[in-house]
Structure formats: structure tokens, C-alpha cells
Structure 1
Amino acid sequence: MRLAYQYRLRLTKAQEAEVEKWLDLLRHQYNYLLADRFNWYEQNRCSVNSCPLVCHLPKLRDNPDYFSQKKTLPQLKKNRPWYGAVQSQVLQDCVKRVDLAFKRFLKGDSNGKKSGRPRFKSKNRYKSFTFPALSKNSINGNILTLPKFGKVKMVYHRPIPEGFKIKTATITRKADGYYITLSIQDDSVPNIIPADSVSNPIGIDMGLKSFLIKSDSTEVPIPQYYRKAQKRLKKIQKAVSRSKKGSNNRKRAVVKLGKAHKKVSDARKDFHFKTAKSLLDDHDLIAHEKLNIKGLVKTKMAKSVLDAGWGQFLSILATKAVRVAWPTALNAGLLTKAVNPRNTSQNCSNCGKKVPKKLKDRIHSCPHCGYTADRDVNAAINILNLAVGHPVRSKAFRVSVRAPRRRKPIALAGVGKKPTLNLKR
């Protein structure tokens, strides 16, 4: 299992200057290697499948790949001695970043999906560098020893779990300071409970009126951190727009804006972690929809969907469910299951028949069986039933079924009664 622990660094002024120097050198090298890739790409491609018998094509050169570009690093340090200050493996990681970016551009990822043309990095776009290997005793209290960089002080707010080894360390510059992300690994395989032996499953339906609603009818209110901070963000953004480019006032306003956005992001992430922990403490299987978030953010609900952060929450929930970080973990080896959201809001969770509803209809009322419930609760129960494979009723949830009324027989005039004469006026 691979986890990432992030700590804040307490760097001195000299160490901050050294970090900025490394970032600047690595950025220039990244841009140089990427330009070399683009030069090869432009010289060796052709828009047609054939050429004339007599053509004047330049001499073709070998494709610059990861290994050929990595072999140029020793010569780089000879030609430019100031690159000797950067640790060798950090430089190699820079070459790896170029290789991955260019491969995604030409070949695509594991699913064959290609990304856009890689950008040349400006100063504000190259913000991190990685140490691919660390020694076993690199942490001593709140002091972390990095190769060729030295000892750095960090806020060691939680210890590395036993059995985990530090694989990589990435120093990142953010709006409010510098952070280090330690990638730790444990070779043991987590013991995940089988789906047949779950005792307390739950289904959740993600929404915008509430953040999520469980199948037992309890809900988690949506915090809307971005919408609440939008007025303040607008004011700071206006100060950035009105200041002159390149001025110190603009730099201070940009830093202030970055800190404000980071505060919103951190508050949302903290809410996601706490919500995931409360779910996993009470339930051993959490069923949720497999949402197409990229499609939802192209609609009119884009701001609300991104403010809720469904993708980040579901990723945190899946990671925490299988985590075996320490022996006393309450959420170790649990299950999360994504189901197809098709017709989960339309089908009746009691009889299974389809009851068409519009988005404005918030109450599910089945005309076939008389079952009545909140629309989102009905969807959460359907999600749970799809994940488990059979109908599940929580003990805390009472099924509201309205018995169909018996209609009284209609009395027709002159049928079954003797005709009477009413003489009263």
C-alpha cells in the first residue's frame, strides 16, 4: 500500500533561497528538454503518406527518449557547473517529468486518452521537485535530512506508521509556504472483508441540497465553502486586476489571493476527511454512484458541483476504506462500491418499478405500491440494493407505505333501489 503524508516545512531564509534556486534551474532544464522533444517531433513528421522521388528532407535524428536525455546530464554539469548544486536524482526526475508529459501528448495514458500539448513552464508553473530515494533514518524527531540539501525542520504533526518505508519526498511551494510530501509504502496486503459478510452497509446519494443523504434517511449538510467566501475572493481579485503588472502591489495582492483560495480548499478537504471517517466508523460497506463529474461541470450546476468536491471526497473515501495504516484503525479493510447511477432516482426502491420524475420533484410517491419517501432517500436505497445485490432495509429506517384506499361502490340511480316519489317541496 502506498500513502502520502504531507508536512509543513519551517525553512530558514537561506534554505528558501536554495529551494528557489533549485526550482529555477530545474525549470530551465525542463523547458530545454521539452524543446528538444518538440524539435524532433517537427522535423520527423510529415502530413502526407508519400513524398516525391527527389526530395530535400533533413537528416533524420534519433528520437530523444528518457534514457538518451538522461545521458546528457553529466555533460550538462560540465558545461554549466552551477547545476552541480542540484542533487543528481532530482535532475533525473526532471527528465522523467518531460518524458511522461510528452508520452501523454503522443500516445496517451493507460486508457489511450491523450492530453494536450505540454506547456513550457513559467516561474509560477514549476513549483516542486522530488527526491526519488531517501535513507531509512532520514527523520529524527522534527528534522528531515535530504540528500545534498541538508537538514530541514518540519511540523511533524503525525508520525509515520510502523511497517512503512519512505520512498520519495517532494518539496512543493504553495501560497502560504513550503510543504514536503512523503510517499510511504507498506508491502503487506490489507485484509478486506468479503462483500457477503458485511453487517452494516449503507448507501449514499450525493446531492447539492445536502452533501449526501444516507439510505437510513440521515443527511450531511453541504458547507458551500466557496460560495460563502466568494464575496471576499471577489474583492481581492479586484485588487489584483486593478494593480499594475509587475508592481509590488500586484505581487502582494496575488499572494493574498492565493492564500484565500487555499483556505477554501483546505476547509473543503478537512470536511471531506471528517465526513469519510464518520461514515467508515459506523458502516463496513459504503455504496455510492459512479458519477460523471467531468460531464456535470459542463452544465449550469458547475460551480455548485466543484464547490461540493464530490470527486475528491469519493477518492478520500476509497483510500481510507482500505487503509491499514496502524493496528487500531477502525476503518481498515472496509469496502466502497460504485454502482451505475442510471434510474436510481426514478425506480421505486420498494417494488422496483419505474416512476418518472422531474428534477423539481423532491418526493417519491409510487402509484404501484403506495411507497412514499424523499427522492434522495429512495435513490440511496436503490444504490445500496445495487451494491449488495438484494434489497436491504436499515433498522433505523422505517418504510413508509401508504395502503391504497378502497373505493366505495358508486350507487347509480334506479339500480338496486325501488323508485320513490318525493312529494315534499
Structure 2
Amino acid sequence: MQQAIKQLHRAWDGFQKVGHGFPRFKKFGQFKSLLFPQFKQNPVQGVHIALPKLGPIPINTGNRPIPSGFVVKQVRIINKADIWYANVNIQCDVSVPNPMPHGHPIGVDVGLSKFLATSDGVLVKSPKFFKVMQSKLKLLQRRLSRKKKRSKNYEKQRIKVARIHHTIDNARKDFHFKQSHALCDAGDMVFMEDLDYRILAKGMLGKQMLAEGFGQFRAITKYVCWKRGKFFGKVNARGTSQECPECGATVKKDLSVRVHHCQECGFLADRDVASGQVIRNRGIESINTAGHVGIQNAYADGLPGTEISQSRSKSKNRKGATRKFLK
């Protein structure tokens, strides 16, 4: 109830000050979440969560209790495809510094022919989750279009379509997280192109761009790098596929040419791998690693609640100076 009043005030301020439209009532099916902004005590009690006005509700915590030293700030209940989720936000008063540039750099080039190609020569094909489920989704959507809206059969069929989309979304997000951790396993610095994928999604290949979710993958990679103490950076994307990573010469080629062959220095490589190497070189140029002696990474060791978590990245004492890269 507090959140509903807050949303009403925010909508009214947006109407008067920002220039948004007049506040409207939510239509049927548009209110898919509710927020509980504060709690006197920890609402998660074993396999139940205690919510105001609702009481204890059984949940599947996945054997992840609230860590000691953390406080539950708010809980948002979300309905996705007729499945209810509880998003619990916890807080701990600690300061975690951002990772500094160090170690082995990796340039990542994403595309439609191959999901990603790294500067180390790793090529990953896209599973194409949407394309695999497209025929089944097409059939369910055709059946939905023949139902009378707001009827019980319409709602049953709508949930079937929503669950297909939910399955595709979960599979794609799981794939993005696994690839992000694989990049962090391979290097200490990850560089990607600074592209606006919303503009690319409006082109001729917009459907394929949206199905791959490159914007989500970049955001997840940035989060995983911060979590594991790896440095993440974005570089200028202009002309990365038209530049030679060895000599810097311009090598013009269209999309049909999948091999990079420089006439100046004779460098021969896969087009996407060469683009990843150009991204890596631009990332190295954009940072200044001179003067960084030794490595200091921020890990979760010693923070409250880490005694029950299994971290993929263990803190290690690194000796020696940071590598110096020559152009």
C-alpha cells in the first residue's frame, strides 16, 4: 500500500514537472509486481517468508539463507508467466573498491554468425534459443489469436505463450552468465565495444539482434567482472573490423568476407578474432598501467556472511609488477 501511494505521487510529479501524461489507472494484467519497502525483522524464516497482510508463505530458497551481517531492506513479489518470485534485497555497510587494470587482457567481439570471438582465438556459436522454440511459439500464438479476449480459455492459452517466452529468457540469461564467467576465467581484463544495441535492433537484422540479447550479455559481463575482481572496459567500436591488429592498416571488407588478410603486413586470421584483437589493443591504449606495482583485488573474504557462500574466485597474493604492453 505504501508503494502504491509512492507510485501515484511519482506519476503526479512526472505529469506536472517532467511533462509526462496524466496518471492513468492500471489496466487488467499490467500490475505484475508489488513491493514491501521495509521490515522490522528478517522475513525469511526457514522455508517461509513472512509478508505484511499476507502472513508466512512457503518458498523455495534453494538452501540460501540470509548471510549474517546483512539486513533485509525490501522484498518485491513478481509474477512472471503465472509463476511468483520473491526478490529479496539485502544490505551490508561495506565499501568494495572497483577493480584496477591488471593482468592478461581479452578483447571480445560479438556478432550473429558467432556469438562471440575473443582475441585469444576462442569462438563460441550461439545456441539460438529463440529459433529453436520459434515453431512451437508460432503454433501457440496462432491458437491464442483465435480465443475470445478475457475469457478463461484465452487466459489459459496466454499463460502457455508466456511460459515459452519465460523459458527462452531463462535459457538465454543462463548462457550469458556462463560465458561471462568463462571470460573471467580466461583473463583479468575484458574489453567490449561501446555500441548502442537499441539502434542496431531497428535494422534489417533486428529480430536476430534482439534474440541474442547482446545488451544483456554486456551488462552481465560487467557485473561478473566486478564480482570476481576483473577489470571491464568499453572501447570505441568504429572500424574495429576494418583495421589490422598487427600494423594498424585499414583493410576494407564487406560482411561476406569472413577472413582478415592484411596486404601490408600479411597478417591472416579469422575476421571476428581480428576484431577482438583490435578491441583488445584499443582497450590497452585507453588505460594507463604504468606505475601499478603489485595487485590489490577486492574479494569477499572476511566480509559478513561469506562463511556460508562458495565463491568462484578465491583471493590470492600476487607478487611482481603488472605487465607492460607495447604498441
Give me the TM-score of the superposition, normalised by structure 2. 0.81
Q: 1:345, 1:378 within 8 Å by CA — same for their partners in 2?
A: yes
User: 1:366: how far off?
Assistant: 1.0
Task: Write the distance in 2 (CA, Å) between the matches of 1:118 and 1:370.
Answer: 63
Give the CA deviation at 1:95.
Answer: 2.5
State whether structure 2 residue 39 is matched by structure 1 residue 134: yes
Q: Which of 175, 178, 200 is 1:296 aligned to?
A: 200
User: What is the distance in 2 between the residues matched to 1:175 and 1:146?
Assistant: 22
The residue that corresponds to 1:365 in the other structure is 261
Correspondence for 2:89: 183
- Look up the match of 2:238: 342
Q: CA deviation at 1:287?
A: 0.5
* Contact in 1 for aligned 2:77/2:85 (Cα 8 Å): yes
Identity %: 37
Measured after TM superposition, the shift of residue 159 of structure 1 is 3.3
Of 270, 276, 282, 1:380 maps to 276
- Superposed displacement of residue 190, structure 1: 1.7
Q: Deviations over 1:398-420 (max 9, x none)?
A: xxxxxxxxxxxxxxxxxxxxxxx
Gap change, CA 1:229 and 1:107, over 3 Å in 2: farther
- Distance in structure 1 (CA, Å) of the matches to 2:88 and 2:284: 36
1:254 and 1:178 map into 2 onto residues whose CA distance is: 16
Alpha-carbon distance, 1:206 to partner: 0.7
Aligned to 2:325: none
Return the offset for 1:103.
5.0
- Tell me the equivalent position of 1:222: 126
How far is 1:211 from its partner? 1.0
Aligned-residue offset at 1:99 = 3.8
Deviation of 1:107 (Å): 5.6
Match in the other structure for 2:311? none
Whole-angstrom distance in 1 between the partners of 2:104 and 2:168: 34
SS, match of residue 233 in structure 2 = strand
C-alpha change, 1:202 and 1:258, in structure 2 (3 Å) is same
Counterpart amino acid of 1:314?
A: R
Q: Does 2:51 align with 1:155?
A: no
Larger radius of gyration: 1
State how far apart, in whole Å, the 2-side matches of 1:390 and 1:255 are.
Answer: 48
Give 3-state SS (helix, strand or coil) of 1:256's partner.
Answer: helix
**Greater relative CO (CA pairs within 8 A, separation 6+):** 2
2:13 is the alignment partner of 1:93: no
Counterpart-to-counterpart distance in 1, 2:114 and 2:181:
18
**1:274 CA displacement:** 1.4
SS of alignment partner, residue 341 of structure 1: coil
2:35 aligned partner, one-letter code: T
Query: Aligned partners of 1:387 and 1:117: how far apart in 2?
Result: 46
Mapping of residues 245-324 of structure 1, within 5 Å: 245-323=149-227
| Aligned residues of 1:216 and 1:377 also touching (Cα < 8 A) | yes
1:144 maps onto 2:66 in alignment: no
Which one of the candidate residues 69, 76, 85 is aligned to 1:170? 76
| Alpha-carbon distance in structure 1 between the residues aligned to 2:103 and 2:20 | 43
Runs of 4+ in 1 over 4 A off after TM superposition: 101-108, 114-119
- State the Cα distance separating 1:148 from its structure 2 match: 2.9
Distance 1:233 1:257 in 2: 7
Counterpart residue identity of residue 370, structure 1: G
Task: Give the total of aligned pairs.
Answer: 286
- Taking the TM superposition and a 5 Å limit, the aligned residue runs for 1:100-139 are 100-101=10-11, 120-139=25-44
Cα deviation for residue 305 of structure 1 reads 0.7
Cα-to-partner distance string for 1:148-176 (whole Å, 9 max, x where unaligned): 32111111013334443221101112213
Judged with a 3 Å threshold, the aligned counterparts in structure 2 of structure 1 residues 213 and 124 are, in CA distance, closer, same or farther, namely same
> What is residue 213 of structure 1 aligned with on the other side?
117
Distance 1:115 1:311 in 2: 27
Structure 1 residue 354: Cα displacement: 1.3
| Mapping for residues 229-244 of structure 1, pairs under 5 Å | 229-244=133-148
Q: Secondary structure at the match of 1:352?
A: coil
Superposed displacement of residue 186, structure 1: 2.8
Could you tell me how far 1:106 is from its partner in structure 2?
A: 6.4
- Cα distance in structure 1, aligned partners of 2:247 and 2:200: 30
RMSD over aligned CA atoms reads: 2.2
Report the CA distance between 1:281 and its aligned residue. Answer: 2.6
**Cα distance in 1, alignment partners of residues 44 and 176 from structure 2:** 29
Instruction: Give the direction of change, closer, same or farther, for the CA distance of 1:348–1:334 in structure 2 (3 Å limit).
Output: same
Work out whether residues 237 and 257 of structure 1, in 8 Å CA contact, stay in contact via their aligned partners in 2. Answer: yes
So what's the TM-score if we normalise by structure 1?
0.63
Cα distance in 2 for residues equivalent to 1:308 and 1:228: 13
Alignment correspondent of 1:355:
251
Offset at residue 390 of structure 1 (A): 8.0
**1:115 shift after superposition:** 7.1
Deviation at 1:105, TM superposition (A): 6.1
Inter-partner Cα distance in structure 2 for 1:280 and 1:162:
28
